[in-house]
Amino acid sequence: MSDNTATSGIEPLSGPDATATGHSPTTGLPGPTSAALGATGTDRYSVLHSLLSDRYTCRAFRPDPVPRESIERVLHLAQRTPSWCNTQPWQLSITDDPAATDRFRKALLDHMNGTAPDSDLPFPAAYNGVYRDRRRECGGALYEAVGVVRGDHEGSMRQMLRNFELFDAPHVAILTTEADLGVYGAVDCGLYLTSFLLAAQSLGIATAPQAALATYSPFLHEYFGIPEHRQIIAGVSFGYPDSDHAVNGFHTSRADLGDVVTWHTN
């Protein structure tokens, strides 16, 4: 991931062919031209491969804020996400500066004391089989990266609470969907979330998508003034990564194609 320390101006597209920029015909914002992306499909594939491969969930951020102009570039690009019947069900509540984020962080941590979790959408009922194995592998590698050994319940709890400290990020976005659109509205918001993460990655902005924040949905509704007909999907903490922190050396693995694809032929 690019370690972009810019605090003003527009950051360039990161990637192997980031040599020229133009203006998007749909947003009017500076964006990559065909020259920047490369003339062939292979070059474009390489850019997307780089963004997907280099992106990771950042769990330690630097305090310097992301310029509003850069955040808006992310949002304009994510807005190109497809959705069922073009309903575009996503909406975001975003803390614009570190002071606003700090106020929210403190209020959330205060609220958690003595308050039971309560989410708008149901969380997984169980992790069985390969899903349990992948979850354990992820958790084990994360705890190893931060020096938490098996049986260290205090250390495990401390790392869990980092979710609600937003990993010290200077910004957080709360993503919601329209309740009447049901599960497919939430699916569309999942597509939007991926677009947001990749757009941020292209500008050197680190992200941490967090379903954990949705476990206190009633508080989020009240704090951000989110109406009841909107359902909390997840939060995204974002900013510039603390590349020296050991936790950011932890990256998850991916299953082989043979584990997820079934080919059907004549």
What are the average pLDDT values for consecutive 10-residue runs of the chain, which has 266 residues?
A: 34 34 43 53 91 97 98 98 98 97 98 95 96 95 90 90 97 98 98 98 98 98 98 98 95 95 94
**pLDDT score at 9:** 33
> Which run of H or of E encompasses 205?
none
Q: Which residue has the tokens 């004391």?
A: 113
**pLDDT score at 39:** 53
pLDDT digits (tens, 9 = 90+) for 146-202: 998 888 889 888 999 999 999 999 999 999 999 999 999 999 999 999 999 999 999
Measure the CA–CA gap between 207 and 6, rounded to whole angstroms: 16
Phi then psi for residue 223, to 5 deg, are -65, -45
**pLDDT score at 41:** 74
Please give the CATH number for the structural domain made up of 54-123+165-247: 3.40.109.10
Average pLDDT of the chain to the nearest whole number: 88
Measure the CA–CA gap between 206 and 198, rounded to whole angstroms: 10
Measure the CA–CA gap between 108 and 215, rounded to whole angstroms: 11
Tokens at residue 154, please? 């205090």
Helix ranges restricted to H, 68-216? 68-78, 98-112, 129-145, 153-161, 182-202
Return the C-alpha torsion angle 247, 249, 252, 256, nearest 10: -170
Return the C-alpha torsion angle 144, 147, 153, 156, nearest 10: -70
Strand partners, 241: 61
CA atoms within 13 A on the CB side of 242: 13
Closest CA to 221 of 44, 229, 68: 229
Tokens at residue 10, please? 């527009």
Q: Which residue has the tokens 């500008």?
A: 203
Phi then psi for residue 35, to 5 deg, are -65, -40
pTM of this structure = 0.84
Measure the CA–CA gap between 262 and 259, rounded to whole angstroms: 8
Question: Do the beta carbons of residue 230 and residue 180 sit within 8 Å?
Answer: no
Q: Which residue has the tokens 């659109």?
A: 181
